[in-house]
Homo-oligomer: A and B are copies of this chain.
Amino acid sequence: MSIKNAFYAQSGGVTAVINASACGVIETARKNSDKIGTVYAGKNGIIGALEEDLIDTSLESDEAIAALKHTPSGGFGSCRFKLKSLEENKAEYERLIEVFKAHNIGYFFYNGGGDSADTCYKVSQLSEKMGYPIQAIHVPKTVDNDLPITDNCPGFGSVAKYIAVSTLEASYDVRSMAKTSTQIFVLEVMGRHAGWIAAAGGLVEDQGIPVVILFPEVEFNQEAFLAKVKEKVEQHGFCSIVVSEGAHWPDGKFLAEQGTRDAFGHAQLGGAAPVVANMIKDAHGYKFHWAVADYLQRAARHLASNSDVEQAYALGQAGVEYAIAGENSIMPSVIRTSNNPYQWKIDKAPLSDVANVEKFMPMDFISEDGFGITDKCKEYLYPLIEGENYPPYKNGLPDYVTLKNDCVGKKLPEFKV
């Protein structure tokens, strides 16, 4: 049997550590060059496979690949592109298999969230039907932390650390200023459907910081919220608020949609943070500041959690090791074996159990009043933000790598997505 090549692609929103998974895949493949040939990476994700834009990672030096471990973003480019169902667009799946066949690719490593787990599963099913064997391995990644089975999703731990640290630092700032100036600080964080990221802001409560969290899981109750904020300010002199972008009114309308209009009359110009801040000002007169973290939170490799980096790498590595061992249609997953000290191992989950299953934040992670997190939630979160994993610096800036990303020659007719 000839040695098969591998295909690796990054999918969906990138993170501070998705490149660490890429590094785990490529370094492990290089160590097993007697069993796995060239690792081709999709230029801009799965689109690269469909359009036969295959980055030849063998042209990158060992140093460049090692530097992926400390470089945020998607080093090969990612994309927001969901393959339709097999019925709706079989041609795309067939094209994938054709490209894999043309380049002697026998391993498919797909690094993404729920949608890509589903795609990965379909590819493995179709390859069977089409009689061209592809071992499809899904390497988990998503700041949304919503994949099942795995203890957490790489990318989430670093966002959680960033949000917890940022909330702590800004809260110290507001505490200093509260006597004559700012009493309220509002931080808007990612999470349209789940409050995992917002929950991380709740960790600062253990540092004596008064904090109110607005989760997408809890319908917004303006009266209760304003009363809670007032109570905190009267007790502490200030209050921090962490609002999820998905926080919404009982009728489902996002707080961010609260009638904001730009000069041209367009809705939804602002975010949830200014809406919440102004609401407090109107009710209580407290002076406020607000921030919207947006991409800063998921790109913040400078503050990555060490456990997140290590797991992202380990999952990429395990993906290749499972592939060499003949596994197919699985997702390497983190299994937590102890909270304190945090201990974990890697196991495999069948993709049939992963695809189309969404993990929600357990309701017993949210405090009874709906504005905070429980001890159980803290027990879950602390291990994920454990340890610092700093990138090297040069001239005061992180020394991140930009790859050459040269593609291998095309062999097939053109195909445009």
When C-beta atoms are compared, the residue in chain B nearest to A303 turns out to be: B302
Q: Does A278 contact B262, Cβ atoms closer than 8 Å?
A: yes
Q: Does A294 contact B291, Cβ atoms closer than 8 Å?
A: yes
A127 within 8 A of B: no
Contact stretch, chosen from A57-65, A169-177, A408-416: A169-177
Question: Provided the pairs A274-B270, A397-B164, A398-B168 are in contact, do residues A173 and B260 lie with their beta carbons within 8 angstroms?
Answer: no
Per the bound structure, the CA–CA distance linking A16 and B397 in Å amounts to 18
A203 within 8 A of B: yes
Q: Does A289 contact B294, Cβ atoms closer than 8 Å?
A: yes
When C-beta atoms are compared, the residue in chain B nearest to A340 turns out to be: B395
A14 within 8 A of B: yes
Question: Provided the pairs A14-B177, A179-B44, A296-B293 are in contact, do residues A168 and B400 lie with their beta carbons within 8 angstroms?
Answer: yes
Q: Does A172 contact B73, Cβ atoms closer than 8 Å?
A: yes
Q: Does A80 contact B180, Cβ atoms closer than 8 Å?
A: yes
Within 8 A of B (CB), among A366-396: 382, 384-388, 390, 393, 395-396
Q: Does B260 contact A169, Cβ atoms closer than 8 Å?
A: no
Q: Does B80 contact A295, Cβ atoms closer than 8 Å?
A: no
When C-beta atoms are compared, the residue in chain B nearest to A387 turns out to be: B396
Q: What is the size, in residues, of chain A's interface with B at 8 Å between Cβ atoms? A: 86
A292 to chain B, nearest CB (A): 5
A333 within 8 A of B: no
Q: Does A266 contact B295, Cβ atoms closer than 8 Å?
A: no
Point out the residues of chain B lying under 8 angstroms from A384, CB to CB: 396
Point out the residues of chain B lying under 8 angstroms from A207, CB to CB: 397, 400, 402
A404 to chain B, nearest CB (A): 13
A282 within 8 A of B: yes
Point out the residues of chain B lying under 8 angstroms from A262, CB to CB: 258-260, 270, 274-275, 278
Interface string of A243-271 (1 = CB under 8 A from B): 00000000000000011111110100111
Q: Does B169 contact A296, Cβ atoms closer than 8 Å?
A: yes
Per the bound structure, the CA–CA distance linking A130 and B260 in Å amounts to 56
13 more A-B contacts (CB under 8 A) besides A44-B180, A269-B270? A72-B173, A75-B176, A77-B179, A165-B302, A166-B299, A169-B296, A172-B299, A173-B295, A173-B298, A269-B278, A270-B274, A385-B397, A388-B390
What are 9 sample pairs from A and B whose C-beta atoms fall under 8 A apart? A72-B169, A75-B176, A77-B179, A259-B261, A264-B278, A269-B275, A270-B270, A291-B291, A387-B393
Top 9 closest pairs, chain A to chain B, by CB = A259-B263, A385-B396, A74-B176, A73-B172, A291-B294, A169-B299, A44-B179, A270-B270, A173-B299
Interface residues of A, Cβ cutoff 8 Å to B: 10, 13-14, 16, 44-45, 47, 71-75, 77-81, 161, 164-166, 168-170, 172-182, 185, 187, 203-204, 207-208, 258-264, 266, 269-271, 273-275, 278, 282, 289-296, 298-303, 305, 382, 384-388, 390, 393, 395-398, 400, 402
